[in-house]
Structure 1
Amino acid sequence: MKRNLQLFLAATTALGLATAGSAMAEPHTDLTLGMSIEPSGLDPTAAAPVAIGQVVWQNLFEGLVTIDEDGEVQPELATSWEISEDGLTYTFDLRDGVSFQNGQPFNAETAKFTIDRIIAPDSINGQKSLYAAIENTEAPDSDTLVLHLSKPSADLLYWLGFPSAVMVEPESAPENATKPVGTGPFEFASWKKGNEVTLTENDDYWGEAPKLDKVTFRFIADPQAQAAALTSGGVDAIPEFTAPELVAQFESNNDFDVVIGTTGMEVVAGMNNTKAPFDNVKVRQALMMAIDRQAIIDATNAGYGTPIGSHFSPSDAGFEDLSGVLPYDPAKAKDLLAEAGYPDGFSFTMKVPNRAYAERAAEIMQAYFAQIGVMMTIESSEFPAKWIQDVFKDTNYDMTIIGHAEPLDIGIYARDPYYFNYSSPDFDATMAEIANATTEEERLAAYKKAQEILADDVPALFLYAWPKIGVWKAGLEGLWTNEPVPSNDVTDVYWSE
């Protein structure tokens, strides 16, 4: 009896240890990810703000194609495609067996609905102009989508991988801003306004299941609070850490990984080009030569970032370093002002969004401008709501500063209307060359020409390309190092320990 009891106790002890060991070995499948800006809605096809895509792109919504971490176009809901020799017809073969998270099927009709909605006259898609070449669509069968273009558009396939072109389901489309429905590996669970959005695994996902069961996107605007949330465990990762001056404390802490990459975001000080004195190119050139871009990067971003001389990032193919076209030279800047008719300088107001990087840069620029007799008043503008209304929509401003995060977006200077109010027939013609390019060499050559035009005309003060500063807990794997598209793609993220 005693021996049986001893065997029983040994067995139950071993079982208990095994159970405890199993519990200890149970994988960590939750992730809390910190972001600076809370999105205004969750439908990237109905609004422009980048924060929307940073929550839902690839995680909840998917497109015909996607863009990988290397900036390459890859198949997604379309398995393949053909482009006609004249560049006017795109034919997509669609993936079978895909359903939206409300159970409705994805097919050519829903793909047609999505594209038609983007290009419709009453479309509110923030990137509608990118798809303007699409004249009409057809769905000859359930697995085939055909796009007919009015003119060639060499970058169209790339743009179809953007958040603005994700596939939506017709019945749920009107509610996607608050209750999004997509085809992705995660589905919408909740949104606590002012705090967080939670996504959970989509059990019926058509592709490989994600390694995470739940992802919470927590919104923390203050950089100091971001650092505190990381150290306290309130968040596991901040892929775009906005306190570069605090990076060193995490680099020296073995509990964290610090990963520095690149982004396609250009920080520029846009000017209202139809408003005096900014309608004078010599004034714009003078202001460009009045500031030391590297000093701004050092003082505002702890040295992280790359000076630029045009609206192009080093992460973009065809990048040309034009920061030396109008280098820091305050004496030359004063001469240019005199030639433009402003020997004693002038005064103006900069509307600055209440983002840390913009506020810091504005203060330094204010000091630089004062050295050439230009007095700048800083007016804080709440971002995104008030800034978007005053600057982006009403163009009620002299100068502003903002990071343009959409990838390969140099074409914004050809948009009419757009908040710069910039007009250049040469630049417009060059953008047409890009669209009509039939080879990659022609396309990149035209992009270089476009960069050079902007470097001379200076419709905005080109400051620097934004770095991607990632800080996350050691053992977290799969987050992107570089960011060709603004995103927080967590579809391949997992905990290794």
Structure 2
Amino acid sequence: MHSLALRKLFFIFILLSTAFIISACSSDSKSETGTTDDTASSEVPKDGGVLDVGLSSNPNTLDPIKYTGAYESQIIRQIGDTLLVYNKDLSGFKPSIATKWEVSEDMKSYTFTLRDDVYFQPGKYQDGRQMTAEDVKFSLERSAKKSALNRLSGVDSIEVTGEFKVTLHLNEPNAALLAMLTDAGNIIIPKEGVEGWGEQFGAHLIGTGPFQLKDWQTDQAVELVRHDKYWGEKPHLDGVTFKIISDPTMMANAIRSGDIDIATDIKGQNRAVIEKDKNLKLLSKSGLSLTYIDLNNIEGPTADPKVREAIYKATNVEKIVKGVNQWGGASVSYMPLPKESWGYSKDLEKLKPEYNPKEAKEILAETDYADGFKTELYVLEKRSPYAVIFQNQMKENLNIDVEIKVAEWGTLSEIAAKGKAPMYIGGWSWYPDPYFFLNQTFHSDQIGSLGNGRGYSNEKVDKLLDQANTKTVDQDERAKLYQEAIKIAMGDFSRIELDNLDITAAITKNVKGFEVSADGSINIVKPNGTNVWLNE
């Protein structure tokens, strides 16, 4: 593999999201599709074979409460099951271990009825026994209390009300709970396995999923084999092997040479390389990942809404997106919600300010900063291309001198969260539920956190966001409330929306039934109708 230095150099020209999902294809690319051509074909699936998948980062742990990277969740999802899953287009939920669920009138209790035919994979400390409600209680309580990234917040207690029935009691209403329960950190695991392996459980994960862990060669590969007592549709594959290929160019080379069947995180110039290979197919679709520029709403010149409006209208977003993603991989972002979220509305795209440097100068002339000013823009190295183009536009259009401050993640996140960054280029990726994009980055109770370090506050927005999360679980009603909040927030010009990143993967022609998902998850066998097979 190439050195870390080379890897960093490559990533200067592409954009990753901070912890979750990423990448690929512009609206005019011939590859803008997330589905293989065969999904609607009449081909009869074949059983057998091992699917080799390239994974861009080495997993540190597979313990559901300790994992912190999306690449780790890709493996965890194959081994374990959650109570429910998203359907393929992420517009709603489908049963998994839970067959149905009910929400109390006060939205503080969620009751789940479980399948009675779910079995754990056999392991050193248990023999593949049946899963019950007690296992759900143990697993979710463990997540609620010990999750490194708080993947099940707001759960007060979990009550077993039958051998296959369980109720989650919340501290306060939270319509986003179901989305949280789809997280790989909330798979169901056996207590005896956790206690038996202790701190080593993350290297010996046991679940109820379609594949079980067979071998883990650090920095090389994680080998999974089919779980023969899997409760769902029988996997067509005999197994799945995740091969660790951290260098992007080596990832592309690996699928071109036949070393892997699926290559993930195909970005930048490698997109063009894949597209030119007649034996491969590039899958790409808009993902749940945004890039934006936070403007300090509390101190400095940008505390003035007029200054923020001028800056937004002097920013040629289209030129920035095209310049950074010259091989495709992103589209212009019109609002603080990704296109694949069920709360997105094309009707709101008109809210995005039009690029108009002349009008921007006139607006700035109405402020105390008519002649421009000096400021700082904090950015991760990998997002530097955005910063350079923005810097030039501000100097040319408004005589604003922007000093680019490249910082490591730890330093940057602390400065931005504390509101000490005059400007900051951020990325945000999460679930399709608008709560995770809007409540987390626009609600005033998030001031002091990375999501709202810029200090945005609007009582009307707060009220709408609270109503959308605590007053109803009806998705259409919640969407309308979130859309009203977006209308108000966009008028405050608290940040500049840049791009909506795509999710990409490359596959060989032998791979059938595989689709890229907007949330970045690798789905091989899933209760939403996915069951990948190899035509060999």
1:496 equivalent to 2:535? Answer yes
Q: Which residue of 2 aligns with 1:180?
A: 205
The 8 Å contact of residues 516 and 522 in structure 2, kept in 1 or not, is answered as: no
1:73 equivalent to 2:107? Answer no
Report how far residue 378 of structure 1 moved: 3.7
Deviations 1:319-378 (A, max 9, x none): 134364322223333444454533322121322153xxx343233223223323333344
Which of 305, 328, 331 is residue 355 of structure 2 equivalent to? 328
| Structure 2, unaligned runs of 5 or more | 1-45, 526-530
| Structure 1, unaligned runs of 5 or more | 1-25
Counterparts of 1:337 and 1:154, CA distance in 2: 41
Taking a change above 3 Å as real, the CA distance of residues 80 and 27 of structure 1, as seen in their structure-2 partners, is: closer
Q: Which residue of 2 aligns with 1:373?
A: 399
Counterparts of 1:387 and 1:297, CA distance in 2: 26
Q: Which residue of 1 aligns with 2:177?
A: 156
Taking a change above 3 Å as real, the CA distance of residues 82 and 246 of structure 1, as seen in their structure-2 partners, is: same
Counterparts of 1:163 and 1:392, CA distance in 2: 28
Any residues of structure 2 matched to 1:415-430 within 5 Å, and which? 416=446, 417-419=448-450, 420-421=452-453, 422-424=455-457, 425-430=459-464
Report how far residue 264 of structure 1 moved: 1.6
Deviations 1:61-85 (A, max 9, x none): 2111111212120111111122233
**Normalized against structure 2, the TM-score is what?**
0.76
The 8 Å contact of residues 84 and 96 in structure 2, kept in 1 or not, is answered as: yes
Counterparts of 1:272 and 1:181, CA distance in 2: 46
The 8 Å contact of residues 350 and 376 in structure 1, kept in 2 or not, is answered as: no
Q: Which residue of 2 aligns with 1:452?
A: 487
The 8 Å contact of residues 125 and 164 in structure 1, kept in 2 or not, is answered as: no
Counterparts of 2:395 and 2:47, CA distance in 1: 58
Find the residue that maps to 2:189 and give its secondary structure: coil
Which of 471, 495, 505 is residue 470 of structure 1 equivalent to? 505
Counterparts of 1:262 and 1:182, CA distance in 2: 31
Taking a change above 3 Å as real, the CA distance of residues 460 and 46 of structure 1, as seen in their structure-2 partners, is: farther
Counterparts of 1:45 and 1:427, CA distance in 2: 33
Q: Which residue of 1 aligns with 2:291?
A: 267
The 8 Å contact of residues 287 and 502 in structure 2, kept in 1 or not, is answered as: yes
Report how far residue 172 of structure 1 moved: 4.3
1:111 equivalent to 2:115? Answer no
Taking a change above 3 Å as real, the CA distance of residues 228 and 428 of structure 1, as seen in their structure-2 partners, is: same
Counterparts of 1:246 and 1:289, CA distance in 2: 33
The 8 Å contact of residues 297 and 303 in structure 1, kept in 2 or not, is answered as: no
Report how far residue 495 of structure 1 moved: 1.0
Report how far residue 474 of structure 1 moved: 1.0
Deviations 1:73-112 (A, max 9, x none): 0111111122233433321111123233333643212212
Q: Which residue of 2 aligns with 1:293?
A: 317
Counterparts of 2:381 and 2:411, CA distance in 1: 6
Q: Which residue of 2 aligns with 1:17?
A: none
Find the residue that maps to 2:506 and give its secondary structure: strand
Counterparts of 1:226 and 1:328, CA distance in 2: 38
Kindly provide the amino acid, as one letter, of the partner of residue 113 in structure 2: D
Report how far residue 475 of structure 1 moved: 1.9
Which of 440, 464, 467 is residue 433 of structure 1 equivalent to? 467
Find the residue that maps to 2:235 and give its secondary structure: coil
Taking a change above 3 Å as real, the CA distance of residues 452 and 98 of structure 1, as seen in their structure-2 partners, is: same
The 8 Å contact of residues 477 and 494 in structure 1, kept in 2 or not, is answered as: yes
Kindly provide the amino acid, as one letter, of the partner of residue 166 in structure 2: L
Report how far residue 160 of structure 1 moved: 1.8
Counterparts of 1:221 and 1:339, CA distance in 2: 51
Which of 124, 135, 145 is residue 156 of structure 2 equivalent to? 135
The 8 Å contact of residues 239 and 469 in structure 1, kept in 2 or not, is answered as: yes
Taking a change above 3 Å as real, the CA distance of residues 328 and 141 of structure 1, as seen in their structure-2 partners, is: same
1:60 equivalent to 2:91? Answer no
Kindly provide the amino acid, as one letter, of the partner of residue 385 in structure 2: R
Q: Structure 1 stretch 62-71 or stretch 315-324: which is displaced more?
A: 315-324
Report how far residue 226 of structure 1 moved: 2.9
1:224 equivalent to 2:263? Answer no
Counterparts of 2:190 and 2:306, CA distance in 1: 51
Taking a change above 3 Å as real, the CA distance of residues 249 and 125 of structure 1, as seen in their structure-2 partners, is: closer
1:82 equivalent to 2:102? Answer yes
Q: Which residue of 1 aligns with 2:6?
A: none
The 8 Å contact of residues 143 and 150 in structure 2, kept in 1 or not, is answered as: no
Q: Which residue of 2 aligns with 1:347?
A: 375
Kindly provide the amino acid, as one letter, of the partner of residue 189 in structure 2: V
The 8 Å contact of residues 68 and 148 in structure 2, kept in 1 or not, is answered as: no
Taking a change above 3 Å as real, the CA distance of residues 30 and 210 of structure 1, as seen in their structure-2 partners, is: same
Kindly provide the amino acid, as one letter, of the partner of residue 440 in structure 2: I
The 8 Å contact of residues 104 and 110 in structure 2, kept in 1 or not, is answered as: yes
Taking a change above 3 Å as real, the CA distance of residues 304 and 186 of structure 1, as seen in their structure-2 partners, is: same
Report how far residue 311 of structure 1 moved: 1.6
Find the residue that maps to 2:232 and give its secondary structure: coil
Q: Which residue of 2 aligns with 1:3?
A: none
Find the residue that maps to 1:125 and give its secondary structure: coil
Taking a change above 3 Å as real, the CA distance of residues 430 and 143 of structure 1, as seen in their structure-2 partners, is: same
Find the residue that maps to 1:215 and give its secondary structure: strand
Q: Which residue of 1 aligns with 2:13?
A: none
Deviations 1:180-204 (A, max 9, x none): 3322112234444444433332334
Report how far residue 431 of structure 1 moved: 1.4
Report how far residue 465 of structure 1 moved: 1.4
The 8 Å contact of residues 50 and 406 in structure 1, kept in 2 or not, is answered as: no
Query: RMSD in angstroms over aligned alpha carbons?
Result: 3.0
Taking a change above 3 Å as real, the CA distance of residues 191 and 345 of structure 1, as seen in their structure-2 partners, is: farther
Greater RCO structure (CA 8 Å; 6+ sep): 2
- Give aligned pairs, total: 460
Report how far residue 489 of structure 1 moved: 1.3
Q: Structure 1 stretch 445-454 or stretch 154-163: which is displaced more?
A: 154-163
Taking a change above 3 Å as real, the CA distance of residues 444 and 225 of structure 1, as seen in their structure-2 partners, is: same
